[in-house]
Amino acid sequence: MLWAGHTLTDDDGLPLVPISFDPAGSTLAPVVNYRNEISHQWARRHVLRQFREGQVSRDAICDADFLLVTAGNYHGEPADYPCPVCGGDNLRIVLWVYGEQIGKASGSARNEEEIGKLVDNGRECTVHTVEVCPDCKWNHLLKAETASAR
């Protein structure tokens, strides 16, 4: 029984099995602070409503180009909801960064950890959260925020 009890914790009393692995939350990556959020959910809902009512064509709203789809596949995270247009399960969430202070990185897709490094040393950038479906090419801006180091 004693042995079984000791397998549950290490000498510091911490659980041996991590509850979750979060790369963005590691001690090496700076924590990103987001502010000035501008939601684009209303515009998104408006476009989708127009689509469902037949006022706009699928071609008109499913216009993701090669770069956006590729960024979604390689830099994006899977969305936890299906594509609102085709219902597929491959919807991706991509973060795009913009701003003079981050130089050549402006206009590129980045993950959370990379954004943390970009805004280290007091720099700021604008982060656009975009959803993109590789299957039907639906894409829409979800929100824009200012990112800085905490």
24 vs 93, beta carbon nearer Zn ion: 93
Cα 31 to chain centroid distance, Å, stands at 15
30 contact partners, CB below 8 Å, separation of at least 6: 116, 117, 119, 120, 149, 150
Where along the sequence are the contacts to Zn ion (CB under 5 A)? 83, 85-86, 88, 133, 135-136, 138
Considering the complex, what minimum distance in angstroms separates the CB of residue 62 from Zn ion? Answer: 7
Q: 90 or 108, CB closer to Zn ion?
A: 90
Task: Compare residues 9 and 57 and give the one whose CB is closer to Zn ion.
Answer: 57
Q: Would you say 140 and 49 are in contact if contact means Cβ atoms under 8 Å apart?
A: no
Residue 108: CB minimum distance to Zn ion, A: 24
State how far the Cα of 118 lies from the Cα of 112, in Å rounded to an integer.
Answer: 10
For Zn ion, which is the closer residue by CB, 6 or 58? 58
33: exposed, middle or buried (Cβ count in 10 Å: 0-12, 13-18, 19+): middle
In angstroms, give the least distance from the CB of 136 to Zn ion: 3
